[in-house]
Every structure is written in structure tokens, then in C-alpha cells.
């Protein structure tokens, strides 16, 4: 059984039976059979169906948002925004996929030579709970347009979301087998990856999960795309607009109750503005109202699971023991639900979790830098490389640092890191490899086939 638990109350929402091995095998081979037809379906028809998905998402936005909030604790207003963003990505690929997949002609000695982007087949998506709709749709929309079929293995604490997405695809009119949600345990993922039907695997999750999936897929010679954790640095330079920077940093740290791979994690502040920034940042974080995610005034809801809160608190305690200082928060509240308060740790030292590890919750690590060079060194002193940001009133300076020096897949200037269907998304180092979104995401699970005609 998989049971969804409301993080706000700690009570069970609903339990779901795991599918049998017989039904699992039938679903896998059904996806393969569906691929034979779906890959031949013209792009206009694929786009029509994806636009219908967007329409349904808009029509059912309130109910879907409530489901997201009940299963993982996201603020209701943010859950609505997530559903809306899913509709956007569907419309984006419905409009642009034909252009992205167009044959690319290359001048050679041949009378005609070109690259044709052809679908691979059945793709397994192993998705996380923190953006239970967006993470799925940002992968599914481009791959459905590319002509692939999809098997979704969602996180075990959001089974209702997994089934709701499959239901939307069915309502939109996608042929049977083109998109399927698998309510299964983790143990069966290994066998699915090894199955000869599977042609690729995409995973968004922890570094450990990424290594495990990549290892299995690598032995089976299956293509993988991995979007893993992050410990995103935000650099506050000596000429930054400190008040604006504090506002953006607070939003970036509390986004999704602090549970975002691209959430702001480490705040590296040059000494000239350190005290000023810290004062403004503290004031902003303290203003955040923690409470019921259904309430409009709430700025911070619960963490998704009790074990995640316990892990975060352990990281905080170890960091404090290692020399960090607690400015605000850092204490596990009593009462129902899996809440954790806005927390700021200062004087964070190397060798502690707050310096090196991903803190998946509303905990900010503030580190002082002597100058710009040291700030960049601290920013890059991490095994991760997903996102980063730099704050400065000198745009040329910020752009130079973002482009030339910060080691991450996405570098923003005077804005928090966020995903956008028009821009490629992904990381380097332990944050994974491959890209989602834009034309890069559409082509990841295609075969760039060379066609050469004498």
C-alpha cells in the first residue's frame, strides 16, 4: 500500500493498492505497443491533445491544487500556480515542437544530408514529491510531442497526484498506453529499468537515487537524464541593493516551504554589506507566517514528511555543534504537523552540513566573504551545481560573474533561480546531467538520426 499523509495534520489522507506484477508487465508492454502508433501520429494531432490537457488543467485547477496541498503541504496559492505552469508548458510545446523537431539540413558532398530527430520509445520517469505536477509535466509535455510513450513512477507520498495526472491524459484523449502511472514500490524500479522495452530513464531526486538509477541504466546501456539536488549559492556583492536582495533571498529560501532543488540555500555576503543584509534578511524571514497552507496569509507550510523534518533538524544541530550560530529558528515546534520555522544560521563553517549539504527546508546558511574573489570561491566550493544567483547594481559585473565564474546550470542576476519552459534546465557535478525544457529538453530522448543521400 501507498498512503498519502497530510503534512499539516499528520493524518492519513488515502491509501492506494500497489499494482500486481501481472498488471505491471501488461502496462509496460502496453506502452511499447502504443509507441508503434503514437510515434507515427502527426505533430498536429499530438499538439491538439496537449492543448486539451492544458484546458483540463485550467478547468480543474482548484481541485488539483487542493490535492497537491493535501498530499505534500504546498501553500494552496502556490499549488494553483504550479497547475497553471503545467498548462503553460503544455501550450509551449504544442506551439513550438514542430519547429524544434524540424529536420536540420547540413551541407556535405551528398545531394541531401540532414538530421532527423526521431523518438526513442518507452521512457520511464521517476519523479519526486516536491512539485508533484510540474516535475512530471516539464518532462511529459516535450516527450509526448517527440513521440515517446511514458511510464511514470511517482514518489510514494503523492500517489493521488500520480493517478490524477494519468486521469487527465485519459480525459484529454491520449491513446491507451501512451501515458501510464505506476503505483509500485521502489524495489520494482530496478527490474523496470532493465526491461528491454525501456529505452530511457529520467529521474529527479536525491544524489543517492540518481547514482542508483544511473548505475542500473548504465549497465543496461539506457539513456538517462538526472536532475538531482542543489545547494544553490546567492552572492550578495558590496554594491548590491541590500533590501531588494533580502526580499528575493527570503522568497527563494522559503519557496515551496524550503523544499526546492533550486531554492536558495547558501547566502554568501561580502563584508561591506554583511550586517546590513543580515538585518534585512532576518526581518524578512521573521515576518513569514508559518501555518495552515490553506490560509491566504500563510507564507510557510509544513515539510512534506516527518522524517524529512527530523533529518533537517539533525543537520541544523550538527552545524551548530560545528560552530555555526543560530540567529533565528532552529527549534522543532511541538504540536501536530511537520512544521519547521524559518531559520538563519550564521558563521557557518566548512565541514558542517549547513556548508556542504543540501538543506531541504526553510534553513538559510549565511557566510561572510572578504571580497568578490572569495565569494566566488565559496560559491563554487560545493559538490552541487544546479543554480546560483548574484546580486549587484552593476549589471555588467553581475553578468560577468554569472557567465564566467559560477559553476552551475543556471546563473541568475538580481533574481532568484527559477525554471522556464523557454530555457534549458539542469545541473552539473552532483546535481546531475542532461537538460529539461526548451528545445534541449525536447531532444534529450530522441535519436538525432543522420540521413545521407548520394
Rounded CA gap, 404 and 360, in Å? Answer: 28
The yes-or-no answer on residue 261 being catalytic is yes
Identified catalytic residue from 82, 227, 357, 358: 227
**Partners of 264 in the β-ladder:** 232
Q: Tell which residue, 347, 341, 357, has the closest CA to residue 274.
A: 347
Q: For residue 209, what is the DSSP state?
A: H
CA atoms within a 13 Å half-sphere pointing along the CA-CB vector of 233: 29
Rounded CA gap, 320 and 349, in Å? Answer: 9
Would you tell me how many other CB atoms lie within 10 Å of the CB of residue 282?
A: 19
**Partners of 225 in the β-ladder:** 202
Q: Tell which residue, 2, 139, 158, 138, has the closest CA to residue 68.
A: 158
- 284 in Cβ contact with 246 (< 8 Å): yes
- 131 in Cβ contact with 84 (< 8 Å): no
The yes-or-no answer on residue 249 being catalytic is no
Would you tell me how many other CB atoms lie within 10 Å of the CB of residue 40?
A: 9
Identified catalytic residue from 261, 357, 358, 436: 261
Query: C-alpha cell of 327?
Result: 540567529
Return the active site residues. 227, 261
Amino acid at each position: 500500500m501507498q498512503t498519502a499523509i497530510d503534512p499539516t495534520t499528520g493524518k492519513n489522507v488515502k491509501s492506494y493498492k500497489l499494482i500486481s506484477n501481472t498488471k505491471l508487465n501488461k502496462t509496460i508492454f502496453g506502452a511499447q505497443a502504443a509507441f508503434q502508433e503514437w510515434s507515427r501520429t502527426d505533430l498536429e494531432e499530438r499538439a491538439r491533445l496537449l492543448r486539451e490537457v492544458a484546458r483540463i488543467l485550467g478547468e480543474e485547477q482548484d481541485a488539483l491544487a487542493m490535492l497537491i496541498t493535501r498530499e505534500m503541504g504546498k501553500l494552496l496559492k502556490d499549488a494553483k500556480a504550479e497547475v497553471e505552469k503545467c498548462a503553460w508548458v503544455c501550450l509551449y510545446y504544442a506551439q513550438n515542437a514542430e519547429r524544434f523537431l524540424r529536420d536540420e539540413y547540413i551541407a556535405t558532398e551528398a545531394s541531401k544530408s540532414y538530421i532527423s530527430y526521431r523518438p526513442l520509445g518507452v521512457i520511464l520517469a521517476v519523479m519526486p514529491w516536491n512539485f508533484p505536477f510540474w516535475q512530471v509535466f516539464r518532462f511529459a509535455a516535450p516527450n509526448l510531442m517527440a513521440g515517446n510513450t511514458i511510464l511514470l513512477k511517482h514518489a510514494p507520498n503523492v500517489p493521488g497526484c500520480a493517478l490524477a495526472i494519468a486521469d487527465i491524459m485519459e480525459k484529454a484523449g491520449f491513446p491507451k498506453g501512451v501515458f501510464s502511472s505506476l503505483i509500485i514500490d521502489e524495489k520494482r524500479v530496478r527490474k523496470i529499468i532493465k526491461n528491454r522495452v525501456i529505452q530511457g530513464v529520467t529521474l529527479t531526486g536525491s544524489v543517492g537515487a540518481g547514482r542508483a538509477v544511473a548505475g542500473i541504466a548504465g549497465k543496461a546501456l539506457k539513456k538517462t537524464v538526472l536532475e538531482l539536488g542543489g545547494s544553490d549559492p546567492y552572492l550578495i556583492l558590496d554594491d548590491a541593493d541590500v533590501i531588494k536582495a533580502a526580499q528575493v533571498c527570503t522568497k527563494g529560501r522559503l519557496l515551496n516551504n524550503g523544499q526546492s532543488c533550486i531554492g536558495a540555500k547558501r547566502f554568501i555576503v561580502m563584508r561591506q554589506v554583511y550586517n546590513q543584509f543580515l538585518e534585512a534578511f532576518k526581518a524578512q524571514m521573521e515576518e513569514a507566517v508559518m501555518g495552515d497552507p490553506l490560509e491566504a496569509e500563510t507564507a510557510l507550510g509544513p515539510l512534506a514528511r516527518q522524517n524529512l523534518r527530523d533529518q533537517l533538524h539533525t543537520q541544523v544541530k550538527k552545524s551548530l555543534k560545528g560552530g555555526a550560530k543560530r540567529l533565528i529558528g532552529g527549534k522543532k515546534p511541538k504540536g501536530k504537523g511537520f512544521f519547521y520555522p524559518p531559520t538563519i544560521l550564521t558563521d557557518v563553517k566548512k565541514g558542517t552540513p549547513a556548508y556542504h549539504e543540501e538543506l531541504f527546508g526553510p534553513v538559510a546558511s549565511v557566510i561572510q566573504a572578504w571580497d568578490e574573489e572569495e565569494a566566488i570561491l565559496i560559491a563554487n566550493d560545493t559538490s552541487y551545481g544546479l543554480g546560483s544567483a548574484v546580486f549587484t547594481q552593476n549589471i555588467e559585473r553581475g553578468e560577468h560573474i554569472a557567465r564566467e565564474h559560477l559553476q552551475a546550470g543556471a546563473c541568475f542576476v538580481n533574481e532568484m533561480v527559477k525554471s522556464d519552459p523557454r530555457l534549458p534546465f539542469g545541473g552539473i557535478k552532483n546535481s546531475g546531467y542532461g537538460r529539461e525544457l526548451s528545445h534541449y529538453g525536447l531532444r534529450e530522448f530522441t535519436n538525432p538520426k543522420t540521413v545521407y543521400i548520394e
